[in-house]
Amino acid sequence: MSRLAAAFTQRRAAALIAYLTVGYPDLEASLEAVPLLVDNGADIVELGIPFSDPLADGVTIQQASFAALKNGVTPARCLEMACTLRARLDVPLVFLSYFNPIWRFGPARFCAQAAGAGVDGLIIPDLPPDEGGELEATAARHGLDLIYLLAPTSTEGRIREVARRSRGFIYLVSVTGVTGPRETLPPDLPAFVARVRRAATQPLCVGFGIATPEQAAAVARLADGVIVGSRLVQIMGSGPGWQAALAACVRQLREAIDASSSAPAG
């Protein structure tokens, strides 16, 4: 069983997937943050490769991405960091990148080096399945799971296609829009998850807009994984003391998710 598959079977509750932007607020902080995320309950870590035009991301991650680029963070530096982290940690590591940086690096070269660094999967928000065949095949040759996204507006045909081709898990975008904390979860989220569940056998993980323990618990009752990003990036950029705040936030999310598994349905 792969590390990514095992992450969804080792806990009775939903998996907690934590995102950070590599190089924000600096590379040293990223190296420090990932073990903190894992020690406090994250099951999978998404390493965001900074890009100059992150269309699916809200202000928080856009600003973090721009700052990381100013810090000189490149895909090559992200690969180096993944290699360093893999030597320290055994949790699944997933790169989240827009397609352009991978295309410029060379997809075959990127997949080979990502696999060599111990990365387990790729999430590419701007790569739909009808354009992903070549990268999908390349990733598979190197043992990388290419994880596709679905949105509430996805057609039944798109859902079936992603259910057939996504590996590792399926990333469900909770809202039509960009990343970023929101006060409430969309009321149609249960119906959206149920639509995908009817077609898919892979774990379903929900991201975009999840920031509080209460929201994480609500998502955990619906899905197999809870993805939190912008809130964690905000904390990392908050200045001195971010380490303790990050640890506390992840620990609270983990506790809420675990508690949701024993809560009565309703």
Is 136 annotated in the active site? no
CA 213 to chain centre: 17
Helix (H) or strand (E) holding 14: none
Helix (H) or strand (E) holding 67: helix 59-70
> Is 102 buried (19+), middle (13-18) or exposed (0-12) by CB count in 10 A?
buried
Is 46 annotated in the active site? yes
Catalytic residue among 43, 57, 120, 224: 57
- Helices and strands: H and E segment counts in the chain: 12, 9
Catalytic residue among 26, 39, 43, 46: 46
DSSP state of 229: -
Q: Which residue has the tokens 């990343």?
A: 179
Query: Helix/strand/coil (H, E, C) string of 143-163?
Result: CCEEECEECCCCCHHHHHHHH
In the chain, beta strands by DSSP E: 15-21, 44-48, 93-96, 121-123, 145-147, 149-150, 170-173, 204-207, 225-228
Is there a contact between 99 and 124 (Cβ–Cβ < 8 Å)?
yes
3-state secondary structure of 96: strand
Contact partners, residue 231, CB within 8 Å, separation at least 6: 181, 210, 211, 212, 249
DSSP state of 131: G
**Beta strand 93-96 pairing with 44-48:** parallel
Active-site residue set: 46, 57
